[in-house]
């Protein structure tokens, strides 16, 4: 409420935030993207290794209501883990929507992958305990 005690104080869309603040009841989070509990996933590793939000979540900026764009299936995870050079982007483009890769992006990514020793796991126990 630091910001919203001053910004858009009357906004209907923020009513839930004001109510939650007043009552101490957390806002119910409607999850759209949901992996089963037996699959291990961390955002930070991905974002820090050059996977853009858009690659996994699609054009969130153009969605009136957020919907899941990619299957989030095991095959989908592995498709990228086996060939990350086809997906990575520069660090300062992680949150860019509508990013267009340069023509030589695969070569650039292969160089980054070598330089930083990026090696997404394909062994079962990396994703399943």
Query: Can residue 77 be called a binding residue for ligand HEC (CB under 6 A)?
Result: yes
5-18 burial: b if 16+ Cβ within 10 Å, else e: eeeeeeeeeeeeee
Tokens 């996933």 -> residue = 41
Q: Which of 89, 109, 112, 120 binds ligand HEC (CB under 6 A)?
A: 120
Confirm or reject binding of residue 67 to ligand HEC (CB under 6 A).
no
- Selected binder of ligand HEC within 32, 63, 97, 111 (CB under 6 A): 32
Cα(46)–Cα(4) distance, rounded to whole angstroms? 31
- Scanning 7-15, 18-26, 103-111, 115-123 for contacts with ligand HEC by CB under 6 A, the matching segment is 115-123
User: What's the closest the beta carbon of residue 41 comes to ligand HEC, in angstroms?
Assistant: 4
CA distance to 26, 34, 78, 123, 129, per residue, from 126 (Å): 33, 18, 12, 6, 7
Separation of alpha carbons 13 and 57, rounded Å: 23
Q: Using CB under 6 A as the criterion, which residues of the chain lie in contact with ligand HEC when the complex forms?
A: 31-36, 39-43, 45-47, 49, 51, 53, 55-57, 72-74, 77-78, 80-81, 84, 87, 94-95, 118-124, 126-128
């Amino acid at each position: 409420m630091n910001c919203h005690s001053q910004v858009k104080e009357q906004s209907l869309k923020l009513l839930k935030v004001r109510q939650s603040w007043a009552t101490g009841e957390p806002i119910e989070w409607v999850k759209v993207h949901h992996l089963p509990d037996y699959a291990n996933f961390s955002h930070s590793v991905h974002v820090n290794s050059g996977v853009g939000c858009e690659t996994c979540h699609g054009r969130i900026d153009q969605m009136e209501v957020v919907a899941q764009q990619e299957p989030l299936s095991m095959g989908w995870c592995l498709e990228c883990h086996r060939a990350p050079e086809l997906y990575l982007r520069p660090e300062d483009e992680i949150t860019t929507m509508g990013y267009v890769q340069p023509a030589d992006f695969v070569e650039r990514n292969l160089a980054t992958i070598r330089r930083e020793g990026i090696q997404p796991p394909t062994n079962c126990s990396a994703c399943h305990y």
